Structure 1
Amino acid sequence: MPASERDVPAQPSVMAGVSMRDLLASCAAAEAVSRPPREPAPCATEPVEAPRVRRQEAA
């Protein structure tokens, strides 16, 4: 006869030795090194100018 869930003693939960922050950082690092490098962006023939910002002078 199989034991029911009530008959099985509960196992104490064990805390992992790694924080969630460290776990996520290691996953991000593993993903970064597992991808091939990106191809460089195509070079523009003319430099692109930054947009000019109009400033209002104080009255």
Structure 2
Amino acid sequence: MPASQPMARPYAAAGVSMRDLLASCAAADVISTPPREPEPETPVKPTEGHREAA
């Protein structure tokens, strides 16, 4: 290989900063994660009688 040509790194993405790469991975994770199931509503129990404060 001639000395005038730089060595190509197969793992390097040309023109993409690490910040952009991490942001795209975070966005892909958010988009690909299904929404959470809604939590079941708990029935409200009526209080029995009136309780006095101490």
- Report the TM-score, using the length of structure 1 for normalisation: 0.45
- Report the TM-score, using the length of structure 2 for normalisation: 0.48
